[in-house]
Amino acid sequence: MNEPLEAVTGPPADGHVRDLTTRVFLALAPPDDAKEELAQVLRPAYAAYPRMRWNRIEDWHITLAFLGELPVAAVPPLMPPLAGLAARQRPLRLALHGGGHFDERVLWTGVTGDLEGLHRLAVDVRTLVRECGVSFPDRPLRPHLTLARSRRGDHANTVEAADSLAGFAGRGWEAGRLHLVGSNIGRGPGPIHYRDIEAWDFHRGAGGAAGGAAGG
Structure confidence by residue, pLDDT tens digits, 167-186: 999 999 999 999 999 986 44
Mean pLDDT computed over 190-197:
76
What confidence category does residue 151 fall into, taking pLDDT thresholds of 50, 70 and 90?
Answer: confident
pLDDT at 216 over 90: no
Mean pLDDT computed over 68-88:
95
Mean pLDDT computed over 54-79:
94
Looking at the chain, the whole-number percentage of residues with pLDDT higher than 90 is 71
Looking at the chain, the whole-number percentage of residues with pLDDT higher than 70 is 81
Average pLDDT of the residues of the chain: 86
pLDDT at 213 over 80: no
pLDDT at 204 over 80: no
Q: Which residues contact 64 (CB under 8 A, 6 or more apart)?
A: 25, 26, 27, 28, 121, 122, 125, 126, 141, 178
Number of residues written out for the chain:
216
pLDDT at 208 over 60: no
C-alpha distances in Å from residue 22, one per residue of 10, 159, 189: 9, 32, 18
The reported pLDDT for the residue numbered 4 is 52
Q: Which one is predicted more confidently, 119 or 18?
A: 119
Which residue, 71, 51, 18, 45, is CA-closest to 168? 45
Mean pLDDT computed over 130-149:
94
